[in-house]
Amino acid sequence: MKISDMTLLEKILQTVVIKVDKDNFVSDKIGAAFFFGEIITEADEMGLDAARKTLAEYIDNADIPILITSDFENGCGSMLKGLTPLPYLMSLGAADSEKLAYNYGKATALEARSVGANWSFSPVCDLNINKRNPLVNVRGLTDDVNLAIKLLPQVIKGMQDNGLAACAKHFPGDGLDYRDQHIVTTNNTLSFDEWKKKSGKVFEEVIKSGVYSVMSGHITLPSYQKEIFDNGMKLPATLSHELIENLLKKEMGFDGVVVTDALGMGGFNGWYKTMDISQIESFKAGCDMMLWPSENYVKNMTEAIENGYIPMSRLDDAVTRILSMKEKMGLFKKDNHAITLSEKDREFVKNTQKNVAEKSVTLMRDDADIFPLTTEKYKKIAVIPITHHIPAFDEGKLLADLLGEKGFDVQYLKDGIKKTETDGYDLILYALFSRPFRPIGFLDFHSTEAQKVAISLQTAVDKTAVVSFGSPYFMNQYFERAKTFVNAYSMLSPSVKAFVSAATGETEFSSFSPVEV
């Protein structure tokens, strides 16, 4: 398709990423549609057949091939029930396998394509350098730039080789601040020399690997930015010409699509008087596609182009990048509908899930010599879940049930244990469940779960083990004195099963931690 043949309206519509509305197709020339949830929500209840039908309508009605996208950060099952959730990306870091990294991307691509999706807002390329960062944590692969540049390009290759465009996020790099860009603008606080060696190096390498798109974060990079906003502060990347046009596109040579993070987030809004103004400024700054713009966006963009506030060259550059990505994906030449997975494909996805989970369970220490668990040594086990994400109690129950199936006498003590009750058990197993945005806020334990932590190591230390199905930093944040600690990184069923297999000696623990704890 030639950009010279497009009307102004067609060009502007290509820069829009809307939310899928199964009852209302917005336009036949829209650039992209995002379906179901977000990283902050649970998987959609819509069945797979209904999902395929809805997305097929978008594809059929699109006059210009449409991008269908979602947050497939850890496989597709977190966005659409009935598909397969993969252990969180930090599990892949713990597995430390380029082959598994490629398979992780491929498995994601196969299931995404099975419902008609062709673009994923992943992988997360942020280095989780700040242990207190509430948003990256297990969503990120590692805090080690060398491990990141070893595995992330393989994830991207696995996705893009199999028809799913990847999106590296969140430029210029989250994971340094202790705050959350959903709430406030955050900062990448590295000196520019350090940024080039760390966050910048990761983005440099994934750009070299051929990633089709990059997501700009509501994050500043003060060490690079010279421009001062009228409140005396530096603008986030989504509003910064310096960071997007100068650094990312010109200096780093990225010629793909730059999409904003969600425009409704607290880190984006408030810099200008209204969101309507902010999104025009974002486009002017160099972002090519707007994620969930307001209903006035098209009208306001039209006015901004017609009155010269945004030059036509900026719009043509954005549309050229978008159409080029669609050309690379072959969307103008091939059927863009959902593919049918073979039994071999389905088996591959399930095996990838199992392999990543099993190869990532990390035995951090076992000074009490508790593992492997045997029914001769540990006849009666207390399993105590600690979490402030209510649905995770189901995974805690699964842990207890799986141990029960192995022949142990297991009591699932959802409300915790009293110090006077510990003598009645041969093993006390604390299971910690967490992940970013479950719920919103810091990952710290508080209220009733904090009380469970408080008594956890006051008695029976030698027969107490702790496993974290979430933040790896709990080991020294709360359980510094625990003699036995395991990191499993992911509060999903496959990771719970993998822990039980390793704990009972059926599989081996990993000894590699992808982050410094």
- Give the closest residue to 121 by CA, choosing from 32, 188, 243: 32
For 297-325, b/e burial (b = at least 16 CB within 10 A) is bbebbeebbeeeebeeebbebbbbbbbeb
Torsion from C-alpha of 153, 157, 160, 165, nearest 10 degrees: -10
**pLDDT the model gives residue 335:** 86
Using one digit for the tens of pLDDT, what is the confidence trace for 320-338? 999 999 999 999 998 889 9
**pLDDT the model gives residue 48:** 82
Domains of the chain by range and CATH? Answer: 15-343 (3.20.20.300), 361-503 (3.40.50.1700)
**pLDDT the model gives residue 23:** 57
**pLDDT the model gives residue 437:** 86
Give yes or no for a contact between 16 and 31, defined as CB atoms under 8 angstroms apart. yes
Give yes or no for a contact between 435 and 396, defined as CB atoms under 8 angstroms apart. no
Q: Which residues pair with 387 in a beta bridge?
A: none
**Is residue 409 helix, strand or coil?**
strand
Give yes or no for a contact between 37 and 71, defined as CB atoms under 8 angstroms apart. yes
**pLDDT the model gives residue 25:** 55
Residues written for the chain: 517
Using one digit for the tens of pLDDT, what is the confidence trace for 270-297? 999 999 999 999 999 999 999 999 999 9
Residues 6+ apart with CB under 8 A from 258: 171, 213, 214, 215, 216, 244, 248, 249, 286, 287, 288, 289, 321
**pLDDT the model gives residue 439:** 82
**pLDDT the model gives residue 39:** 39
Average pLDDT value over all residues in the chain:
94
Q: Considering Cα of 396, then 401, then 407, then 409, what sign does the dihedral take?
A: positive
Please give the model's pTM, rounded to 2 decimal places: 0.96
**pLDDT the model gives residue 336:** 87
Q: Which residues pair with 168 in a beta bridge?
A: 214
**pLDDT the model gives residue 234:** 97
CA pair distance 210, 165, nearest whole angstrom: 10
Give 10-residue mean pLDDT values along the chain (517 residues): 92 95 69 70 62 89 94 92 94 98 98 97 98 96 98 98 98 97 96 98 98 98 96 96 98 98 96 96 98 95 98 98 97 91 98 98 97 97 95 96 98 94 96 90 89 90 96 96 97 97 98 96
**pLDDT the model gives residue 269:** 95
- Which run of H or of E encompasses 260? strand 257-260
